[in-house]
């Protein structure tokens, strides 16, 4: 069925019409006196991006605002999550992309071209759970990224077949060994978001009292045996650090350290790996393409991930035991803290809109992709100022086993 026919059928459906009917008059953009369901436009101040059900449900039924007041079906969204949910004044909206890179990219691409939304001034908050490195943060911690790195976009050998002098089975495209900067660039390897906005988000989130559980505290205590995991053995905090994107749900010291090296490599030494996720680079690429056509402002994106599990095993545990039986020990505090920290950011933006946020937060850093698509010179990658467009290498970061 053609997309135009899908749009027509959805808009003609009873559910869509009932949702639209709930819109206040001032949210409608009327093309004619007899406005129809196809003509309304919502202009959110904040848009919350969830990836799967637990992340989304933490926002429903909260006392601060009702995100289910308006439900708008958008063609192209996930079959499992076909609606955008908004407050009755349209200032705050939320959707769920579905898990993985393909679902995230398709959902965001469909959202940004929907005729029902004016997103040119909207702040987007990617708000999900993820793995977390015990070297930097812990279960329930709330992390805010400046860089999102697509770490699995590499050649791969099975670990049982890699050369003895390789530290990992992942080799950057166009190179012959780990630690060399890729010479075949796809463009989605790294995204850098507005650090000034990130710092404001951290300031707002820091006013929250984070959730913790006895189960999470008991599990993280296992990491106290290694002094390098002091952050992992401590309670949840707000942490500025960067996110690695991979459809592969990886676990274990070797893979985690390999992808930490990749984060350092691809950001030219600036990025600090701490969390893992499956969707962020995909969502950011869709947002960037929309920004090229002035549909969104790429400088208005916040990337927040909370620690639901550690990315590696504790001393004395195997990687297999950790991944298959002991992971997700921080699920409850991680999901709860999405809301506890995130609501402070949402309220801060909405309440201080006219004075601070309507005009935008001016970036103090480069914002965009590895190509410099949105203007400016990237401070990472082979196209960075002063960087030779040749292979780069870093000292492989690997702790003794």
Beta strands in 98-212 (DSSP E): 123-132, 142-144, 147-150, 155-156, 170-171, 190-192
**29 belongs to a structural domain:** no
Task: Determine, yes or no, domain membership for 280.
Answer: yes
CATH number at 276 reads 3.40.50.1580
Q: Are 171 and 154 in contact (CB under 8 A)?
A: yes
Res 382: pLDDT: 84
Asked whether residue 182 is assigned to any structural domain, the reply reads no
Which of these, 141, 53, 99, 115, lies nearest to 283 by C-alpha position?
99
Inside any domain, residue 8: no
Give buried/exposed letters for 146-173 (b at 16+ CB in 10 A, else e).
bbbbbbbbbeeeeeeebeeebbbbbbbe
Are 283 and 126 spatial neighbours (Cβ–Cβ below 8 Å)? yes
Examine residue 385 and state whether it is found in any structural domain, yes or no. Answer: no
Structural domain count of the chain: 1
Residue 170 belongs to a domain: no
**pLDDT < 70 positions in the chain:** 1-39, 385-401
Which residue has tokens 């192209």?
76
* Interval 160-209: pLDDT, tens: 999 999 999 999 999 999 999 999 999 999 999 999 999 999 999 999 99
In a domain, 51, yes or no: yes
Question: Is residue 15 classed as helix, strand or coil in its secondary structure?
Answer: helix
Q: Report pTM.
A: 0.88
Give domain status of residue 183, yes or no.
no
| pLDDT tens readout for residues 147-164 | 999 999 999 999 899 999
Domain residues for 77?
41-149+190-253+270-369
Mean pLDDT, the chain, rounded, equals 88
């Amino acid at each position: 069925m053609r997309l135009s026919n899908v749009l027509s059928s959805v808009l003609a459906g009873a559910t869509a019409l009932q949702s639209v009917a709930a819109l206040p008059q001032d949210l409608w953009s009327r093309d004619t006196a007899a406005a129809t369901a196809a003509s309304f436009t919502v202009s959110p101040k904040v848009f919350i991006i969830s990836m799967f059900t637990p992340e989304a449900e933490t926002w429903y039924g909260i006392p601060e605002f009702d995100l289910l007041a308006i439900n708008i079906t958008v063609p192209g969204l996930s079959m499992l999550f076909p609606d955008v949910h908004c407050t009755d004044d349209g200032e705050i909206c939320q959707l769920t992309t579905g898990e993985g890179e393909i679902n995230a990219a398709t959902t965001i691409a469909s959202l940004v071209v929907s005729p029902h939304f004016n997103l040119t001034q909207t702040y987007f908050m990617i708000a999900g759970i993820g793995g977390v490195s015990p070297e930097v943060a812990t279960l329930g911690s709330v992390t805010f990224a400046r860089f999102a790195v697509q770490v699995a976009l590499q050649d791969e050998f099975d670990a049982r077949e890699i050369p003895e002098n390789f530290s990992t089975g992942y080799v950057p495209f166009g190179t012959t060994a780990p630690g060399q900067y890729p010479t075949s660039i796809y463009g989605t390897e790294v995204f850098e978001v507005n650090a000034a906005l990130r710092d404001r988000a951290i300031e707002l989130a820091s006013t929250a009292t984070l959730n913790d559980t006895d189960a999470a505290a008991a599990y993280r205590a296992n990491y106290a045996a290694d002094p390098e995991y002091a952050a992992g053995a401590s309670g949840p905090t707000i942490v500025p650090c960067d996110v690695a994107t991979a459809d592969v749900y990886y676990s274990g010291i070797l893979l985690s350290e390999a992808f930490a090296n990749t984060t350092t490599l691809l950001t030219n030494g600036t990025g600090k790996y701490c969390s893992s996720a499956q969707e962020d680079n995909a969502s950011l690429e869709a947002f960037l393409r929309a920004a090229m056509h002035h549909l969104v402002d790429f400088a208005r994106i916040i990337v927040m991930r909370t620690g639901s599990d550690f990315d590696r095993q504790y001393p004395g545990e195997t990687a297999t035991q950790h991944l298959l039986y002991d992971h997700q020990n921080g699920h409850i505090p991680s999901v709860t803290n999405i809301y506890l920290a995130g609501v402070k950011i949402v309220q801060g933006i909405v309440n201080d809109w006219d004075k601070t946020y309507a005009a935008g937060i001016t970036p103090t850093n480069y914002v965009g992709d590895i190509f410099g698509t949105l203007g400016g010179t990237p401070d990472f990658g082979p196209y960075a100022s002063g960087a030779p467009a040749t292979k780069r290498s870093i000292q492989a970061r690997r702790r003794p086993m």
